Amino acid sequence: MIILILLFLKSNEFIENTISKLERLNPKTKELFYDTKHILDKSSLPSHIYNKFKLNPLLPIYEYNIFDAKSWFRFIAYSNSLNSTYAFTYLKFVIMFIRSIWYDFPITVFFDWWAEFVSNSDKKLLHWNSILASLNVSCELYNWPKDSRKNLIERSHRIDDEEFLIPRWAYINSKPDFLKEANDYSYYYNFHRISTSKYRYWKTPYDIVSSNLKYFNHKYLLHFPTLILDDWISDLIYHTKTIDTLYHLNTNSPNFNDIKSIIDWKYKFNIHNNIFAQNVFDLYHFHEVLYQS
């Protein structure tokens, strides 16, 4: 028992030291951590909850998480499929939203080498970076197993189980039920859940965001919805294709359709305009999701 207690304290000390390092991040940069979670985990969920998600094909079984390293604010989506198309499209959507609020410094996104990202392929990583370069964004792989930041993300998986799936499973019987509960949980985690870390004591992720002058228009974070990607992937691909178009314009001879796409996009949305975020919601019709939830 004493050994277990010592190991627990040592683990907490390790995590706190990692958080301390994150608190000293360069204020002129932003780091995002990208991770996925398999909801069907027998070691984390009671058997009746595990079986409920496994036997109901309408309930998602994968979770996509993008964390702001400084504030630990989370963008969360779910799906029944785990693949790089979903992962990259959702990343582009979140980056577009972030750029509508924070647009004056570079962003670095860290993730694993798993198949839903770049499959440990240098060529694919270079391709992702080439496309995201137009938004001053770069992607890097974790330096596994020495990279301690991965431990903080794994810790969030346990929080999801203990504070969302386990206490709320009885209220989830359909996809609309899950979407409502997931949106409520995301709101709770980002705006009401107080961190017990000594470096973020009595602060929520939103407290940290709103208290930092580098974060512009942070109030729009209140409206960012939790999505089930299977239902929205076609819309997300269509409305994030501008980033891909910018990449192709820089690497190939432009044609009329490429130019028209850029003009239409810039006409509708000025990425340095304060109301850009609200336009995103109007375009994607996400207000329907918010009202239904």
Over range 58-62, report the average pLDDT.
Answer: 96
Opening angle at CA 285, ends 107 and 262, nearest 5: 55
- Portion of the chain with pLDDT greater than 70, in percent: 70
Question: pLDDT digit string (tens) for 200-254?
Answer: 668 898 888 887 655 566 778 878 889 999 999 999 999 898 888 878 777 765 5
pTM metric for this prediction: 0.77
Instruction: Give residue limits of the domains in the chain.
Output: 2-292
Residue 85: predicted pLDDT: 94
Question: pLDDT digit string (tens) for 81-111?
Answer: 999 999 999 999 999 988 887 766 799 999 9
Sort residue 169 into left (φ over 0), alpha (ψ -120 to 50) or beta: alpha
CATH of domain 2-292: 3.30.420.10
- Residue carrying the six token digits 């028209």: 260
- Here the tokens at position 239 are 């409305």
Question: pLDDT digit string (tens) for 197-213?
Answer: 666 668 898 888 887 65
